[in-house]
Structure 1
Amino acid sequence: MSYRPVSIGIIGLGHVGPHVANSLILQGVADQLLLCDTNEEKLAAEVQDLNDSTVFAPHRAVVVNCHADYERLAQCDIIVNSAGQVTLSAISRTGELFKAIDDVRSYVGRIAAAGFTGFWVNVSNPCDVVTREIHRLSGLPASHVMGTGTVLDSARLRTVISLKTGLAPESIQAYMIGEHGNTQIAAWSSISFAGKLLSELGAARPRDHAEQGGEAGKSQTSAGSGIYDLDAAEVEAKAREGGYVAYRGKQCTEYAIGNAAARLVRAILHDEHVVLSASVQLNGEYGQDGLFISVPSVIGAEGAGDIFELSLNDQERAGFEASCDAVRDNYAKLAPMSVQAARTVPVVVPRHQGDDRFE
């Protein structure tokens, strides 16, 4: 009986990359992990530590140090991109924009030229912009490229609702959609428990506009009664700001986002057809076209599949459209770079207008 080992590549071994690797090892998902980073000392340390930990895994896994030889990852089934510099996100999730784009421009084309035909799962922020750039440079079908997007933010939303209601998170259907950033919104009118909409569990009552702050995309109602009497603004804010709580305390986020990336990897490898709010390409859905952004979509062996269009109310639709515009604004900040230039070694990455990192 023949068996083809499952090979996963991970680029970027700062905070998130090692947790993605460890999660895949402990869940028994990967047979082989190929790791790349430009920080040789940190990379060697992580490879040593991860290989030592495989003794306690469900089955043997081999962790390989690929240095910065990105072409070696062309053999992988899936590559997880987690390169970046988290300290640049201290102010906002767009803080890493130029650094993360420069990173992927330095290796995605090289890996494509080496013959990679698998899947990309992007973690690096700003997630939606970086995911789109990976797709552009990879030459792969859009279904083969996705970002973790609001997979984690949706989990945070369900966690907040779970703590408020006492219901298990897996019994709650709730999604954060839009940009993985400050403009994301909760699809509040679609939240349900066992098929019962939250809005049907009690009369929705409007909140004061001053309390709302007039921000586009924030729900204007609190819904439910008793344990389901949730304050929309409070719940949504906690879901949106969970990452910043973690960052303020330890200057990084790592466990939850690592598991979110591993969840997407597992869904692809096991053809789960699970619905997750990943960053995927829209082609007319929600009235949007040509951008990657988070909406509920089916993830399986073919990558990102059917997109489920939620029934958004007018307020939510306006908020989602504003979030799409924010992502497009970030696209516009990038210096042009051709696909061919990204595949010509050595890769020369153009400087972005307004990029003052080197001044």
Structure 2
Amino acid sequence: MAPSSRIAIIGAGNVGAAAAYALMLRGLVAEIVLIDADADRAAAEATDIADANAIARPTRIWGGDYADVRDATILVITAGAATKDGEPRTAIAGKSAAIVRDCVGQAMAAGFDGILVVASNPADAMTQVAQVASGLPSARVIGTGTLLDSNRFRKRIADRLGIAPGAVEALVLGEHGDSEVMAYSTVRIGGMALDAYLDGRGFDRAAIAHDVMRAGYTIADGKGYTSFGVATAIVRICEAIHRDERIVLPVSTLVEGQYGIDDLYLSLPCLIGAGGVLRILTPDLHDDELAALHASAGALRETLKNTG
């Protein structure tokens, strides 16, 4: 891997620019380069962020090209097709796959040999497309997956209970999309399972699950796109890699036998460090959750058929 402290982002749209801005505020790395098919857009976003950086932490930020990817330790791909009028993320799989393959191909030709983080939609399928196109070990190709969904899940539960989201452990598994699985069996508050914490109080699990699954659509309906939530998920993964945190995050990874699922990218809790995915964890699931996870895997296989 390259020795420098540089993160490259391919895609200077709403998500890519928000991720670059958040990375700058964190002061995580010395260099951030934005790359886009629209070079003027990348340069303008980089200049805008660099101007803000004058009163933040010293980080070099610029609009570059694929030659700049060679010295990056982490490459983030946000480029892809955009959904329109509430269509599901899976509807753009073919168009996004062509874009992702092109981006990855140019990055590898430029000599990239770091860790690839994929946020393009549909996220799980595009991560699998990127891994195949790159030839990198699957541990070094990570999708943002259900990290954002899990954060939404924790927040919705916390809001209903009147407690801080940091007090809640909860995982969303499977697809980052309509078939995602709200794993209520993983919910813990102070080490207590949800039912024990509720102590007989009512709790509408289905309403929360629906709200979490539809959150991205709701945000996009209101402002035309989503950006800050997924950008924060990107930054959190980059932090875990760059700092070798060895923290557990629910991200999209190549599943090879876990829960009886093979050769498919989907989200499970993973131990993340400098080498990427160090270990895939398999919490005990209820029977209905396991069935839902297999159904989600089936939906993802159908999406992959549309990636060409």
Q: Same fold (TM over 0.5)?
A: yes
Q: Which residue of 2 aligns with 1:315?
A: 288
Contact 1:88 1:95 in 2 (8 A): no
Q: Which residue of 1 aligns with 2:306?
A: 333
Q: Distance in 1 between matches of 2:85 and 2:7?
A: 27
- Superposition pairs of residues 103-118 of structure 1, within 5 angstroms: 103-118=99-114
Q: Which residue of 1 aligns with 2:86?
A: 90
Q: Which residue of 2 aligns with 1:53?
A: 52
Give structure 2 stretches of 5+ with no counterpart.
none
Q: Quote the offset at 1:265 in angstroms.
A: 0.2
Q: Distance in 2 between matches of 1:295 and 1:89?
A: 30
One-letter amino acid of the structure 1 residue matched with residue 175 of structure 2 = E
Contact 1:157 1:175 in 2 (8 A): yes
Q: Which residue of 2 aligns with 1:341?
A: none
- Superposition pairs of residues 114-193 of structure 1, within 5 angstroms: 114-193=110-189
SS in 1 for 2:75: strand
- Superposition pairs of residues 233-312 of structure 1, within 5 angstroms: 233-312=206-285
Distance 1:115 1:89, change over 3 A: farther
Q: Distance in 2 between matches of 1:88 and 1:331?
A: 20
Q: Which deviates more from structure 2 when the two are superposed, residues 317-326 or residues 79-88?
A: 79-88
Stretches of 4+ moved more than 3 A in 1?
none
Contact 1:87 1:251 in 2 (8 A): no
Q: Quote the offset at 1:82 in angstroms.
A: 0.4
Q: Distance in 2 between matches of 1:87 and 1:288?
A: 28
Contact 2:93 2:306 in 1 (8 A): no
Q: Distance in 2 between matches of 1:101 and 1:134?
A: 8
Q: Quote the offset at 1:28 in angstroms.
A: 0.6
Q: Which residue of 1 aligns with 2:69?
A: 73
Contact 2:43 2:62 in 1 (8 A): no
Q: Which residue of 2 aligns with 1:225?
A: 200
Query: Which is higher, the Rg of structure 1 or of structure 2?
Result: 1
Contact 2:10 2:103 in 1 (8 A): no
Could you give the per-residue CA deviations for residues 82-119 of structure 1, whole angstroms, max 9, x where no partner exists?
A: 01232447311113212211111112123223321100
Q: Distance in 2 between matches of 1:268 and 1:18?
A: 20
One-letter amino acid of the structure 1 residue matched with residue 132 of structure 2 = R
Q: Which residue of 2 aligns with 1:37?
A: 36
Q: Which residue of 2 aligns with 1:349?
A: none
User: Aligned residue pairs: how many?
Assistant: 306
Contact 2:124 2:176 in 1 (8 A): yes
Distance 1:90 1:70, change over 3 A: farther
One-letter amino acid of the structure 2 residue matched with residue 34 of structure 1 = V
SS in 2 for 1:86: coil
Q: Quote the offset at 1:5 in angstroms.
A: 4.5
Q: Which residue of 1 aligns with 2:25?
A: 26
Q: Distance in 2 between matches of 1:84 and 1:50?
A: 22
Calculate percent identity across the aligned residue pairs: 35
SS in 2 for 1:312: coil
Q: Which residue of 1 aligns with 2:8?
A: 9
Q: CA RMSD in A?
A: 1.4
Contact 2:80 2:100 in 1 (8 A): no
Tell me the TM-score normalised to structure 2 length. Answer: 0.95
One-letter amino acid of the structure 2 residue matched with residue 181 of structure 1 = G
Tell me the TM-score normalised to structure 1 length. Answer: 0.82
Q: Distance in 2 between matches of 1:128 and 1:28?
A: 28
Q: Which residue of 2 aligns with 1:346?
A: none
One-letter amino acid of the structure 1 residue matched with residue 200 of structure 2 = S
Give structure 1 stretches of 5+ with no counterpart.
203-223, 336-359
Contact 1:160 1:235 in 2 (8 A): yes
Could you give the per-residue CA deviations for residues 245-298 of structure 1, whole angstroms, max 9, x where no partner exists?
A: 110100100111111100000000011111111001111111111111011111
One-letter amino acid of the structure 2 residue matched with residue 311 of structure 1 = D
Q: Distance in 1 between matches of 2:39 and 2:63?
A: 9
Could you give the per-residue CA deviations for residues 49-105 of structure 1, whole angstroms, max 9, x where no partner exists?
A: 011111122x21111221xx3243121010110012324473111132122111111
Q: Distance in 2 between matches of 1:235 and 1:7?
A: 39
